[in-house]
Amino acid sequence: MKPLSQLLFSAATFATSALAATHVYDWNVTWVSANPTGDKERPVIGINGQWPLPALEVDKGDRLIVNLYNGLGDQNTSMHFHGMYQNGTNAMDGPNFVTQCPIPPGATFTYNFTVDQNGTYWYHAHVAGQYPDGYRGSFIVHDKNAYFANDYDEELTWTMSDWYNDVMDVLRPEFLSLYNPSGAEPVPNNIIFNDSQNVSVSIKPNTTYLIHLMNTGALGSIFFWIEDHNFTVVEVDGVYTEPTEAQYLYLTVAQRYAILLTTKEETDKNYGIVLAFDPGLFDVIEPYLQMNQTNWLEYNSSAPHEHVTPDFESTDDIPALDDFDLIPADRIPLYPEPDLEIVVDVTMNNLNNGINYAFFNNITFTSPKVPSLYTVMSAPDEYVMDSTIYGECAHPFVLTHMDVVQIVINNVDPGTHPFHMHGHEFQVIVKSPAYDDDSPTAYDPDNHDPFPEFPMRRDTSFVRANGNSVFRFVADNPGVWIFHCHIEWHLEQGLALILVEAPDKLKEQSIPDNHYDVCKISGSAYVGNAAANSTDFMNLNGQNMQVKDLPSGFTARGIVALVFSCVSAFLGMFVIGWYGLTDATASEAKIIEILEEEDAVEEAYRHNASVEQEISNDRIN
């Protein structure tokens, strides 16, 4: 028998009432090493010396307390519990400079909230492109009252993700660079299943499994299916759906599904669990990139494990379930006509430093000096409803409590963008097809398909190339919520805005001292407006602004030409800049400054060649 002290203190989980438990985790976040693909051992971000990261599992109603110690040494960090509404606990949401200060090395930040939701979630860093370094894990909320609670025997969690052989500290500066003016995203090296590959999942015959699926990747959308097995979708992003049979699913990064799968009665054969990248997300398909990956539903370990070769001409032919057709099990009808409509155009373009950025209505998200939640907390009541104080380039929209809000997204970009809203799920009431590059099509309020009667709701929904989408939700959760593209590269490029929801009500919430302590340690301001002015909230002098625009007419190709001409001039091969670049601009000065370092010349040549290659690929696509 264990001594009493151990019985009391060894378990991190203890019941606080007959119903709800409190789970306390002390997580030490450090660099460890891993090689999930067999390709390359690389640094990854682990927890308590381990990677893959722990799978979080709680029951609905439980409290979760994570004491997060930043043991990385060289990077700030944070944690976001993706899909949690953080209703009443906005301070626990995680994004840096939105609801908290970055957690510097050596500091501990405590996340503490109750979970009153169902289903399939995940957790990941929300700072400086960090989560693709492996800093993400699954988070499952069990619900014994689920309508399908008695329809399954066992429960499984399968994650899927793209995988890079290089760390973000290498990839990020190469991506956000003058030498990558087209903004071509780094293409992953591989695809992984449950942080591994070629996994055999040993299952029992004639058994029904509830399987939680999630794409925890940075960029790649993934088609998912199981050879010769159909299944029933019962949940998307934490929202129960009416049971819907499916054969193929499509998961963008950050999307989740829960399915019921009944295994066969015979055990003579194993079946492939197949993951296939959507090539549409990648600018170039490097020859080394394996586009699909087989794992096995293993009925019999001594039967063969055969690789499945998807027999589709192209991924366009994969008849994946359209989530737009799903009906939420609670049958919440279409929300009424909106009180507030936010219309945003999505574009990508270069700014004056030659770097390619992403924009909502010409604004690329630029962090305020003070986390916006702390601006709400420190501002006098008469200012909180004025979006000015949150900073122009944090792109704030102030919402009134209980308003019906409609977000219209017009994608004036040839890429697919999976948009994620913190603090809510939203109804997806329009999801247009893709359009050609020469005819991006905006949502037309006077000419659209009828809205669904019971629209599907989720927290991450993608907008197709050059298409549009309309989301609706009720502003019933006071908080500052970031709304952003979940492709981590695009978030780094600034494809985000903030919803400052009912700041007058939000002021009733409190911020633990520990959170402000972290600001003090990291040297971040935590009172005042976006410019950290706490004496005059309407004075935004000194706020962080986005980089200036390029001179008009300047294009990505122009920058390539400029870099090329500078390199050539440097080498003495007098070449005049193309595209009429007679005006020596700040970016040219910058290029020259960079090129003054001799090593950079060779580097520039290499990049220049690959950029031109990518640009021509862009044109072909």
Ligand X SMILES: *[C@@H]1O[C@H](CO)[C@@H](O)[C@H](O)[C@H]1NC(C)=O
Residues that bind ligand X in the complex, under the rule CB under 6 A: 28, 30, 37-38, 49, 55, 65, 69, 71, 75-76, 85, 87, 102, 104, 110, 112, 118, 138, 143, 145-146, 157-159, 194, 197-199, 201, 206, 228-230, 239-240, 247, 265, 276, 290-292, 310, 312, 315, 329-330, 345, 361-362, 424, 476-477, 522-524, 533, 535-536, 539, 541-542
Binding partner selected for residue 485 from Cu ion, ligand X, none, CB under the kind-specific 5 to 8 Å limit: Cu ion
Tell which residue, 367, 352, 383, has the closest CA to residue 539.
383
Q: For residue 385, what are the contacts with CB-CB under 8 A and spacing of at least 6?
A: 398, 400, 503, 504
Specify the residue, 228 or 596, whose C-beta has the smaller distance to ligand X: 228
Q: How far is 365 from 57, CA to CA, in rounded Å?
A: 33
Binding partner selected for residue 568 from Cu ion, ligand X, none, CB under the kind-specific 5 to 8 Å limit: none
In the complex, minimum distance from the CB of residue 215 to Cu ion, in angstroms, rounded to a whole number: 14
- Contacts with Cu ion by CB under 5 A lie at 417, 485, 487, 490
Binding partner selected for residue 21 from ligand X, Cu ion, none, CB under the kind-specific 5 to 8 Å limit: none
φ, ψ for residue 386, nearest 5 deg: -95, 115
Specify the residue, 315 or 350, whose C-beta has the smaller distance to ligand X: 315
In the complex, minimum distance from the CB of residue 570 to ligand X, in angstroms, rounded to a whole number: 32
Tokens 């799978």: give the residue: 55
Q: How far is 612 from 607, CA to CA, in rounded Å?
A: 8
Specify the residue, 192 or 348, whose C-beta has the smaller distance to Cu ion: 348
Specify the residue, 536 or 602, whose C-beta has the smaller distance to ligand X: 536
Cβ proximity of 406 and 338 under 8 Å? yes
Specify the residue, 514 or 585, whose C-beta has the smaller distance to ligand X: 514
In the complex, minimum distance from the CB of residue 171 to ligand X, in angstroms, rounded to a whole number: 16
- Give strand pairing partners of 431: 469
Geometric angle at alpha carbon 188, from 186 and 192, rounded to 5°: 155
Specify the residue, 212 or 607, whose C-beta has the smaller distance to ligand X: 212
Tokens 């499916």: give the residue: 246
Binding partner selected for residue 393 from ligand X, Cu ion, none, CB under the kind-specific 5 to 8 Å limit: none
Specify the residue, 232 or 349, whose C-beta has the smaller distance to Cu ion: 349
Binding partner selected for residue 315 from Cu ion, ligand X, none, CB under the kind-specific 5 to 8 Å limit: ligand X
Cβ proximity of 219 and 162 under 8 Å? yes
In the complex, minimum distance from the CB of residue 549 to ligand X, in angstroms, rounded to a whole number: 8
CA distance readout (Å), 5 to 1, 10, 11, 17, 418? 11, 8, 11, 20, 49
In the complex, minimum distance from the CB of residue 162 to Cu ion, in angstroms, rounded to a whole number: 14
Q: How far is 146 from 130, CA to CA, in rounded Å?
A: 34
Binding partner selected for residue 487 from Cu ion, ligand X, none, CB under the kind-specific 5 to 8 Å limit: Cu ion
CA distance readout (Å), 604 to 351, 373, 578, 598? 19, 42, 17, 10
Tokens representing 160?
Answer: 């899927």
In the complex, minimum distance from the CB of residue 489 to Cu ion, in angstroms, rounded to a whole number: 8
In the complex, minimum distance from the CB of residue 77 to Cu ion, in angstroms, rounded to a whole number: 23
CA 151 to chain centre: 32
Binding partner selected for residue 340 from ligand X, Cu ion, none, CB under the kind-specific 5 to 8 Å limit: none
Tell which residue, 289, 406, 291, 384, has the closest CA to residue 340.
406
In the complex, minimum distance from the CB of residue 221 to Cu ion, in angstroms, rounded to a whole number: 11
Binding partner selected for residue 246 from ligand X, Cu ion, none, CB under the kind-specific 5 to 8 Å limit: none
